[in-house]
Every structure is written in structure tokens, then in C-alpha cells.
Amino acid sequence: MDIFLHNTLSRDKEKFTPITPGKVGIYSCGPTVYDRAHIGNLRSYVFADTLRRMFEYNGYTVKHIINITDVGHLSSDADEGDDKMTRALLRDNKPLTLESMFEVGSTYLAAFIEDIQKMNIELPTETPRASEHIQGVITLITELEKKGIAYITSDGIYFDTSRFPAYGKLGNIKIRSLREGSRVHINPEKRNPIDFALWKFNPSLGWESPWGKGFPGWHIECSAMSREYLGQPFDVHTGGIDHIPTHHNNEIAQSESAYNDALAHYWMHNEFIRLENAKMAKSSGSFITLDTLLEETISPITYRYWLLTAHYRSPVDFSYEAVRGAQSALIRLLTTFGNYPDGGNLVSTYSSRFQARINDDLDLPQAIALMWELIKDSTVSDADKKATLLNFDTVFGLQLASIPSLHDAPAAVIPAEIHALSEAREEARAQKDWVKADALRNEIEARGFILTDTETGVKITEE
């Protein structure tokens, strides 16, 4: 069955054709590991995960790269301001050394991996760190310098955007609108206001290079790492819509200029999660983490389910009320599924409709609607419903396979998420927040576990 994707580059829905038959290479812009990821960030990775799962559902072998930015991401698109990792060192009272920067990055990288695992996001094939790919960056800059596209100023090496006439083609960005003092600050040494840094000089912190000690620009890191792990061109590049105007256009300009070939064939971007009608952002302090959701008795899988109910190209407004509504629906799903017997067969009429919906630009909201249609269909046996829902869940990622059947023998191992929800319930009870405590118990029991309050604590068993 054909797959159709909305390509930001063409601004149209296109039939997907892989570079190598049966294989797909995906590069997703990863986190800058100076702080915990917020739930707005995590939408990008749920989107990329379901995209990967859709390709796998269609029989493709997927190589998925999520890069880790642990140096070079400045606070301004104009290549001004502090490196975000340097800010993290100052915030955490760490010495300004590469070793400390790597250590802080490792801490938040571990937290990121923990978060995506909580949301049942498949681990990427590789998570390359920018700090470990400096030579690849230097090689790419050298290619641009040979062609006269890179030039030196007093503070670094810059890309001459006038040498790439197609600059701004991603998202149809109007170059005239990028005036001095708007997106970019005035730098008299730049040949053009929108030229961007490939390498920034820093005599006290960084790596040695042919041009002087310093560190790479944020954009060049992604070009170097995507080429190393996926080649050029590769199939699909994903990221948030905020990457379109600058970061991704810069990637395209430097990669295509250096190697005279497209960087990626399909560019796909997810919309924002808005909080009180504003983009959720760490820089403004307006963000929510998965830990915050757990404190509010909302599990990471509930949040994942809520995200699946909106198309990835639609902005969504976060509210606890909306997510709790999704939680109620998920509890109904888990309870219903847990009562279905094993031994059924895949219902082909539903699986073909499901495939058509996910292949249509990853239309997960329509796929979710189809799931509920199946559950309500009295002409399908419960056992066949279970088999078909498990098939759907290879894309949804709601961990339905972990829900014990009423016909199953009790398992000895209690998942870590159930323990975490139980601990959150105990905290809510200690604070006499009975609404939260009851909501937590409901979700735990919907997943097939029984809580028994004893004199020595809470006992958790499977039904």
C-alpha cells in the first residue's frame, strides 16, 4: 500500500519513494541536553516514533538517528549569546571545562532517555553526540572553505548565504523579511545579515581546528552527523516547526553546497504544544515535565495517548482537563482490552483500513477513531478484537501487550511505572488529596493490578 507524507519542502502531500527499497533512514533533531525535556519537546519524539512505527508496519527496516546537542547551541539564531551548555555549567556551579560540559550533558541525556522510555518511544538506532563528532564538522567546513563559501571573521567562520541562491526554500521563507535587527543582530563583519556561524572562536574553551580553537555552530553539527550515519541524501528529516526558518534551512544550505546533492528527500515537522496560548519553552520557564504530569496522577502513556488524538501538524493547547479526558478514554480501553480472551485472528477489513489511515500522512486521530469503531462492532468476536488491537498497537505504542488478560496467570514482576503510580498515590493520600489518589488507583487497576492497603504498606498484585 502506498504511503503519502506531507513534505515541508514542496508544501504538499507526496507519495513516499525510498532511496533504497525496503529501507528508510530518518534523522530527527534531538535535544540540547542542558536541562530536562518538557512535554512540548516530547511531542517531536512521539511523532518521530509513530512515523518510524508506521514504516515498520509497512515492512520497512528503519534506521533512526536522534542527535544529541551538547555544545554549540547558542541562545540566539543570530549566533549571539551564551552557549546553552555553558549556561548549564554556570547554573550548576560547575567549572567551565569540556569535561564538565560532557558530564552535565550526560546527566540530561540519561534523563531524556528515561523520559522517552517512559513514553514507550522506541530507542533510536544511534544517539550521536555533537561533542564526539568534531572532526566530521571540521571536514564539512573545509569543503565549504575550498569552494569559497565559508569565510573568516574575528569571531568565527561563517557561511556566505549569497552563494546559495535557494536559501530559504524550506517553508518558502522570504529572504527580504529577514532584515538586520529582526531575526538577526547587526554584525558588520558579515557579508550578508543572514549569514550564519559554522565555527565560533573561543581561546579558553573548545577544540583545536585549522582556523583556531573554538566550537562548532549548532547547524553544522546536524549536517555532519546526519551524513555520517545516514549518508546524503537520506529519506526523512523530522523536527518541530520552529526549526524550519533557520536551523533546517541552514542545514540544507551548508550540506547541499558542500556535496552538491540534496540533504533529505522528505522534511516533516510537528506543530507546537501550547500552554496558555503560548509555545511551551524552557527559555521562558513556561513548561511542564513528565514528572509534573505524574504528580498530577497522569501517566506518560496517558500523555502519549492524548498526543495521538491530534494530527502531528495541528497545534494543540495543553490543559489538565483535556489530558484527564484522554486518561478516562485510555482507562476504558485498557479495561475493555483486559477482558478480551486470547486466541483470536486479525480482522483484515479493519487492518487494511488502519493501514490506509496511518499511510495517509500519519493520520493517527482517524486511526484512533477506527480503534473505537472496532471495539463497538458487535459483529467481531472479542478474541478477534484483541488480536486486531494488538496489531494496531504496534503503531500506537500504548503497551496493550503488557495488559494481563483475566485468563492469564499472575506475573511475578510489577512494572516500574505501576510502582511509580502507586508511590504518587501514597503521596496524594498523605496530602489528603483523595481525588488524585482515586484517579491513580483507577489507572493502576485499569492496567490489571490490584492495590491492597496493609498495615505494613501497599501490596501490588496482578489480577
Strand locations in 140-230, DSSP E? 150-152, 156-159, 196-201, 214-216
Per-residue pLDDT reduced to its tens digit, 10-21: 999 999 999 999
- Cβ atoms of 193 and 159 within 8 Å: the answer is no
Percent of the chain with pLDDT over 90: 67
The CA distance from 257 to 254, in Å, is 5
Q: How confident is the model at residue 280 (pLDDT cuts 50, 70, 90)?
A: low
Residues linked to residue 68 through DSSP beta bridges, in sequence order: 129
**pLDDT (average), residues 282-305:** 82
Mean pLDDT of 247-259: 96
pLDDT at 36 over 80: yes
Q: What is the mean pLDDT of residues 413-418?
A: 71
Asked whether residue 452 carries a pLDDT value surpassing 90, the answer given is no
Which range is least confidently modeled, 240-244, 349-353, 404-408, 445-449? 404-408
pLDDT at position 283 is 53
At 140, phi and psi to the nearest 5?
-65, -45
Is residue 226 classed exposed, middle or buried when 0-12, 13-18 and 19+ CB atoms within 10 A define those classes?
buried
Cis peptide bond N-terminal to 193, omega within 30: no
The pLDDT value given to residue 411: 43
The candidate with the shortest Cα–Cα distance to 399, out of 124, 127, 122, 123, is 122
Distance between CA 250 and CA 41 in Å, rounded? 21
The model carries a pTM of 0.85
Q: Of the given ranges (114-128, 203-217, 283-297, 436-450), which has the lowest mean pLDDT?
A: 283-297
CA geometry: angle 137, 142, 143, nearest 5 deg: 100
Count the Cβ atoms, other than its own, within 10 Å of residue 91: 11
Pick from 204-213, 284-293, 388-397, 406-415 the range whose average pLDDT is largest: 388-397
What's the mean pLDDT in 206-229? 95
Decide: helix, strand or coil at residue 262. coil
CB–CB of 271/314 below 8 Å?
Answer: yes
Calculate mean pLDDT across residues 110-139.
Answer: 96
So what's the pLDDT on residue 180?
A: 44
- The three-class DSSP label of residue 274 is strand
pLDDT digits (tens, 9 = 90+) for 52-67: 999 999 999 999 999 9
Query: Per-residue confidence at 255, pLDDT binned at 50, 70, 90?
Result: very high
**Interval 320-329: pLDDT, tens:** 999 999 999 9
Residue 176: pLDDT band (50, 70, 90) is low
Residues 452-457 have a mean pLDDT of 70
pLDDT in tens, 342-381: 999 999 999 999 999 999 999 999 999 999 999 999 999 9
- Record the cell numbers describing residue 98, joined without a space: 569540556
| E strands, 293-448, in order | 316-318
* 337 or 456, which is more confident: 337
The DSSP code for 248 is: I
Strand, helix or coil at 30?
coil
DSSP class of residue 213 equals S
Q: Which of 303-307, 393-397, 414-418 has the lowest mean pLDDT?
A: 414-418
For the ranges 18-27, 33-42, 142-151, the lowest mean pLDDT is seen at: 33-42
What's the whole-number average pLDDT of the chain?
A: 89
Contact criterion met (CB below 8 Å) for 157 and 199: yes
Phi–psi pair at 401, nearest 5 degrees: -65, -20
Look at residue 273 and give its three-state secondary structure: strand
Mean per-residue pLDDT, 273-284: 65
